[in-house]
Amino acid sequence: MLTRVRDLDERVNTGAVVEWQSPMGSRYRWERRTRRAGVESGPGSGHWLWLDARPADLRAARRAVLEHINLEEL
């Protein structure tokens, strides 16, 4: 179980897009323009399944991703 937001493994941060990788290998993404957070549908697919939450900022996106990882993967 991940307990702190800073435990997320950040892989990409362009300012417009931030991506993380979970301990199980799933990739997560937040897009600033659309304010959506999602998980990749399959390894390397580039297709994102958007989470119900629409985080307004990066901080909220990190919390939403952390919660999803803890509920779905760990």
Q: Give me the domain span that covers residue 26.
A: 5-72
User: What is the total count of domains within the chain?
Assistant: 1
Please give the pLDDT value at position 74: 64
Tokens 């991506």 locate to 19
H or E stretch at 65:
helix 58-72
Q: What is the pLDDT of residue 28?
A: 95
Q: What is the 3-state secondary structure (H, E, C) of 30-60?
A: EECCCCEEEEECCCCCCCEEECCCCCCCHHH
- Enter the pTM of the model: 0.87
Give the CA count within 13 Å in the CB-facing half-sphere of 73: 17
**What pLDDT sits at residue 7?**
86
| pLDDT digit string, tens, across residues 29-69 | 999 999 999 999 999 999 999 998 788 899 999 999 999 99
